[in-house]
């Protein structure tokens, strides 16, 4: 009979009550640890990806501007070349200008972000994008739901914008055609979206822009493409990743990686300690068996294999149960969104979940490998057991 067969028999035969409890406790601890690790990874993945995508959707992954912050001259030839770089999905000019938004008796200081008419706008929850079928300026505006609620502005209403240019106040009347909600409070409170030509007309310069926003494809490497873009920049133009423009947001996102690693480390330690404790108890219970096998000529390596197989049964049962629980709970949250968050603090209403098959496989195999290596420590105790004393042990 080989070591595997012996391990299988002693693992599934009736055990003493305290031993059965320890085995079940070890399986439960391993299952909880694996489930917690999978849930942590899925939540952190979802959180980082969702928040990053919100920032990218509003600004693009790369921004082109002048070195000193001065306005740029629109360069269609350059934009066409940049659009051909592999990984670049689209490129759009933009222009920001401070203004005062007024509706009836209420006013609010905001920033008007000028975009090209007919270009898609992220986060639209009501109405439509700014549209134009002609080359003329469009008198339409898209507001955030925060501003519409604060100033009681209904969809379809006409609002007034007051711009200060060269010491002169200029007024424009615009129709509210859309309402957006990004979930990032600073954006929703601060930005309204208007036709780029409106701001260019106010500045008396129809080719003036603040810069270009580059939207990249999903799997594109931002830093690599940013380097390629920078190599094509004219003098005094610079390409910068949005991560560098808004480091406070992405640094905060990065902190979640530290929390994730700490949680995973703690859960692995809990699982390993419980499994080691269980293996020590199983070995103590089987001291007479160890003595008998030794007296019959079994090598220490053979006896060690028996307990390693037995511990592996317990380990894999815990990993299997934990994987089902972890993936199952994440799937339910992804489908039904039961857990809600404070959007003002986390930029997200519903706890996000993002599965990564590679990470799941890595957790399962990594837990098994680390546990197996740890199992080697208690089995070294076998060589200290004297056969004569072991057979008499009870």
What pLDDT digit, counting tens, does each position of 192-209 carry? 999 999 998 888 888 899
pLDDT at position 15 is: 56
Q: Give me the domain span that covers residue 383.
A: 3-54+250-392
Average pLDDT over the chain reads 85
Same domain, 97 and 49: no
Per-residue pLDDT of 136-175, as tens digits, reads: 667 899 999 999 999 999 999 999 999 987 778 899 999 9
Task: Give the pairing of strands 124-127 and 140-144.
Answer: unpaired
Note whether residue 27 is domain-resident.
Answer: yes
What one-character DSSP code corresponds to residue 286? T
Least Cα distance to 318 among 358, 255, 368, 248 occurs for: 368
Is there a domain that residue 245 lies in? no
Query: 12: pLDDT confidence band, cut at 50, 70 and 90?
Result: low
Number of domains making up the chain: 2
**Which pTM was predicted?**
0.81
Look up residue 274 and give its two tokens.
């419980």
Spatial distance between the Cα atoms of 81 and 76, rounded to a whole number of angstroms = 9
Within 10 angstroms of residue 352's Cβ, the number of other Cβ atoms is 22
Residues 49 and 114 in one domain: no
Within a domain: 219: no
Examine the pLDDT at 273 and tell me if it is beyond 90: no
The token pair at 189 is 């409170």
Tell me if 291 is assigned to some domain: yes
């Amino acid at each position: 009979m080989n070591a595997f067969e012996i391990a299988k028999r002693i693992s599934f035969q009736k055990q003493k009550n305290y031993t059965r409890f320890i085995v079940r406790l070890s399986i439960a601890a391993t299952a909880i640890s694996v489930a917690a690790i999978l849930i942590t990874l899925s939540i952190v993945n979802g959180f980082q990806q969702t928040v990053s995508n919100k920032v990218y959707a509003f600004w693009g992954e790369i921004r082109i501007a002048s070195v000193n912050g001065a306005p740029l001259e629109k360069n269609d030839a350059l934009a066409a070349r940049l659009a051909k770089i592999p990984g670049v999905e689209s490129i759009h000019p933009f222009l920001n200008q401070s203004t005062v938004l007024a509706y009836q008796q209420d006013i609010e200081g905001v920033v008007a972000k000028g975009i090209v008419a007919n270009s898609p706008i992220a986060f639209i929850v009501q109405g439509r994008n700014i549209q134009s079928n002609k080359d003329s300026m469009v008198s339409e505006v898209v507001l955030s739901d925060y501003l519409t609620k604060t100033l009681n502005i209904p969809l379809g209403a006409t609002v007034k914008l007051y711009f200060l240019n060269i010491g002169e106040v200029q007024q424009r009347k615009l129709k509210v055609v859309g309402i957006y909600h990004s979930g990032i409070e600073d954006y929703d409170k601060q930005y309204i979206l208007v036709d780029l030509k409106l701001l260019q007309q106010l500045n008396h310069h129809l080719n003036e822009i603040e810069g270009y926003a580059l939207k990249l494809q999903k799997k594109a490497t931002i830093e690599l493409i940013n380097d390629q873009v920078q190599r094509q920049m004219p003098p005094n133009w610079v390409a910068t990743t949005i991560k560098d423009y808004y480091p406070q947001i992405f640094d905060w996102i990065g902190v979640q990686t530290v929390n994730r690693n700490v949680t995973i480390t703690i859960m692995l330690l809990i699982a390993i300690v419980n499994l080691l404790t269980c293996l020590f108890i199983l070995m103590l219970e089987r001291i007479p068996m160890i003595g008998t096998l030794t007296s019959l000529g079994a090598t220490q390596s053979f006896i060690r294999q028996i307990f390693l197989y037995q511990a592996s049964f317990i380990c894999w049962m815990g990993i299997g149960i934990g994987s089902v629980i972890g993936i199952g709970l994440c799937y339910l949250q992804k489908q039904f969104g039961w857990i809600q968050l404070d959007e003002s603090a986390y930029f997200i209403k519903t706890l996000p979940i993002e599965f990564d098959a590679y990470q799941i496989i890595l957790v399962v195999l990594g837990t098994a490998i680390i546990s197996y290596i740890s199992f080697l420590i208690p089995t070294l105790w076998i060589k200290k057991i004297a056969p004569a004393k072991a057979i008499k042990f009870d």
